[in-house]
Chain A
Amino acid sequence: MKGIFKINGKELEISFEAHKVLLDVLRENGFTEVKEGCREGECGACVVLLDGKPVNSCQVLAASAMGHEITTVKGIGTLHNPHPIEEAFVEAGAVQCGFCTPGMVIATYALLKENKDPSDEDIKRALDGNLCRCTGYVKIKKAVKLAAKKVSENE
């Protein structure tokens, strides 16, 4: 089937098979910043924003996402024009292997939209759906705190 997807602010017409999940449609169309870590909705590597809400894109039927706003990490910032959250991740040393990172950034973005000054507990809960095997989460939590500060300073 064919449909219009709004990805990172751009409308794209994409043909896809009806049973496909959003993760596959995104990755097959070049949005490889959305990572496949498990396909079970457990690891959070494939998290994107769907109308501003974080979802595991492996658990969303692509057809159901047509016409909705889809945001990947590339819709938040770019290599040369990073979002303050992304800068916070670098500064805090929150990136190791980097495979979970795009999902972590999205989860952080979603959290800070709702809660400008999250507590440690809020941060842990917001990141609970995103697995990381490298960092012990310490510097990721630090990055979220730092990001909150940066985002509020930017406003």
Chain B
Amino acid sequence: MRDISKPVRRFDASEKIAGVARFVDDHYEEGMLYGKIVRSERVRAKIKAIKIPELPEGYHVISAKDIPGKNRIKMIFDDWPFLAEDVVNYFGEPILLVVGPEREKVYEISESIEIEYEDIPAILSVEEALLNKKPPIYGENNLFADYFFEKGDVENAFSEADEVIEEEFKTGFQEHIYLEPQGMIAKYNNGRIEVFGSMQCPFYVKNALIEEFDTKPDKIRVVQTTTGGGFGGKEEYPSQIAGIAALGAYKTGKTVKLVYDRAEDVEFTTKRHPSHIRIKGAVKNGKVIGIEVEIILNAGSYAGLSSVVLQRGMFAATGAYSIPNVRVIGKAVATNIVPMGAFRGFGAPQSIFAIETFMNHVAKRLGRDPVEFKLSHRYRKGDTTATGGLLRNEVRLPEIVNRVLSMSDYYSKKKEKKEGKKLYGIGFSMFLHGCGFTGNGEEILKSIARLKKRKDNKVEILISNVDMGQGPQTTLRKVVAEVLGIPYEDVIYENPDTDRVPDSGPTVASRTAMIVGGLLYRAAKELKEKWVDGEEIVVEKQYRHPEYIKWDQEKFKGDAYPEYSWGANVIEVEVDPITYEIDVKKAYAVFDLGTPLDRKIIEGQIHGGMLQGIGYATLEVMEQKDGRFMQRTITDYIVPTALDAPLFETDLVSQPYEHGPFGAKCAGELTFVGAAPAVCAAVEDALQIDLYEIPIRPEKLLTIMEKKNESEV
């Protein structure tokens, strides 16, 4: 048997390197039309009138009125239109689509359209939304979701406590900056709509178009083109672009290409939810015996996936810690800004930043070493989680933590700080991530994966999950080939086409390897038994939660996830004592993500995820002013470059999950969540201060240090 973890040559690498892999914008067709979206220039307003200039032949302007079915993007709520009708709810909201043969002419027309508005008082912050003094954006109180769950007796814990510590944390917007901007190409032929584009979830797009065109599933075809990064940004948002492009094709009968430029993508697509998180902890005999966490997410103007993002955030509220008495309150709040959406970690990074930083602060107050303090609260096998779920598997945090500490030489570096012109600091974080969809998501999805053995004895993987860079075209091939005992090259896995593949669910929530890979593993086992040379054989497997998993979606009680991955990070920083710029020098990580399906691919996930997390904590500043983002390009919105990236040292501990293929668990998101709190702890260590907010901005540090120095004089 081959070692499943041993790296192989990535199947998609050569074509990408040689420049022959075709991303959405690389597709061209004679007679194709170009599209440009006309966007709201108001933050919140009624549309009073639209003045369209006389159009040259071949050019068209398309509006919500042209939608034959429902003008709502199918998601959890029913509030987000493809194109605005009479009201706009954020600056940049799509109102019209201009299409035509010459791109520049299309752009020119889109700029000459005049829209008359009547402003409605805009809700520009979460505070304003909660005050509820202006007409609400959603419902009666601007809350897309308002949740609560409890475990034990929190009030009793507070009354018994030696000390009650309360702190508030803030996290900012984050933009994905996948290198390939979003885009779609749509065609309409013989009553059938076909969409090709950059996406994570072909069936999300398909289901959205079925409702938009009020048509049958066989009238819609969605095909993923090679996708240049997603990170969640291409989870739900592509449904809107696809819907708008498809409408253009439907109206004109021609192929329509709608590709965003970077500025459009930065300013008008979904972002990570900013959060305010308040934590109140009851401390007794040196332990946190009770905790109340209130999470408030800025969800933007439409609900999108915010309710589930909030749920994942709430289920991660106590981090990797077993705290007997827990109360978690969560609100997803509507404000007049672009809808917030999926982004690697999906609500968990905000919570993990808050709980990790809180635990550091409590440890400091108690005069305890933060690592030892955290370990004394860690989850163990047999513990119940905040929602009362059972940890059935070994939790190997002591091993993970010991390894990252020795790898980084944490204690000696912490004790004997490097002397230099810069201020040196070292920080630690430990954390978990729930694998697969939150709560009953997988049960509702009932994903199907199919394997088709062809007459030539090659086996094709038929699933709707995409490779957006994270490597399933390689890892899932390995899983199937390994079970069947055939060469990797004999397994085929094309970009999904909804005409050919069953719905194996979206490419999100670190579920592809563990959940879909698990289905493929079982399908391959069955195919092996049925194998007859030269015959075509099809095997299908549908997902069912292991029977022992119990979950109550109404009360948020039970196993919120079938399994967890774990990790610990150590980060070293140097802070400039004059400018307070943060230089992240070295990042260490140890993860338990089950069996790695390819060590090299997993390392790629670790490095990329951690650097994105380091960016989240430091450089990646996005602010809004009067309802508009101030950062509108990648000149303004800074992501880490090769010069910003630290050195990495990483290792794995593998506690397999019995239902994951070869024991694989979740990986992609886990690698992101621990970096920001570790950076924060390192900066706190360097400057001997307490911090409560990311991104950590030099100008903020300067203010904090000036105050600190004054009080010390």
Contact = CB atoms under 8 A, between A and B. Distances in A.
Contacts of B176: 133
Interface in B166-198: 176-181
Given A37-B180, A125-B643, A95 B10 contact: yes
Interface residues of B, number: 56
Contacts of A43: 179, 262, 634
B350 interface: no
B287 to A, nearest CB: 36
Contact of A95 (B16, B180, B231, B641): B16
B610 A136 contact: yes
Contacts of A5: none
B226 interface: yes
B228 A99 contact: yes
Contact of A32 (B15, B19, B469, B600): B19
A43 B19 CA distance: 17
Contacts of A138: 603, 607, 645, 648
B642 interface: yes
Interface in A77-132: 77-79, 82, 86, 89-91, 93, 95-102, 105, 123-125, 127-132
Contacts of B10: 90, 93, 95
A135 B606 CA distance: 8
A39 B22 CA distance: 19
A125 B231 CA distance: 26
B1 interface: no
A128 B640 CA distance: 9
A138 B689 CA distance: 31
Contact of B16 (A37, A45, A101, A130): A101
A57 interface: no
Contacts of A77: 17-18
Contacts of A74: 18-19
Interface in B141-178: 176-178
B604 A73 contact: no
B415 interface: no
Nearest to A90: B13
B470 interface: yes
Contact of B469 (A45, A73, A91, A97): A97
B17 A124 contact: no
Contact of B611 (A34, A42, A90, A136): A136
Given A93-B10, A97-B227, A133 B641 contact: no
Contacts of B41: none
A97 B612 CA distance: 15
B601 interface: yes
Given A98-B226, A138-B648, A139-B603, A133 B177 contact: yes
A148 to B, nearest CB: 16
B639 A32 contact: no
A38 B20 contact: no
A111 B12 CA distance: 25
Contacts of A127: 641-642
Given A42-B635, A99-B180, A127-B642, 9 more contacts: A35-B180, A73-B18, A93-B604, A96-B471, A97-B179, A98-B16, A98-B228, A134-B604, A134-B608
Interface of B: 7, 9-10, 12-23, 25-26, 28, 176-181, 226-229, 231, 261-263, 468-471, 600-601, 603-604, 606-612, 633-635, 639, 641-643, 645, 648
Interface of A: 27, 32-40, 42-43, 45, 72-74, 77-79, 82, 86, 89-91, 93, 95-102, 105, 123-125, 127-141
29 contacts: A32-B25, A32-B28, A33-B20, A35-B180, A36-B181, A37-B181, A37-B262, A42-B633, A90-B10, A95-B17, A96-B229, A98-B469, A99-B178, A99-B229, A102-B17, A124-B643, A128-B642, A132-B642, A133-B608, A133-B639, A134-B604, A134-B608, A135-B607, A135-B608, A136-B604, A136-B611, A138-B603, A138-B648, A139-B607
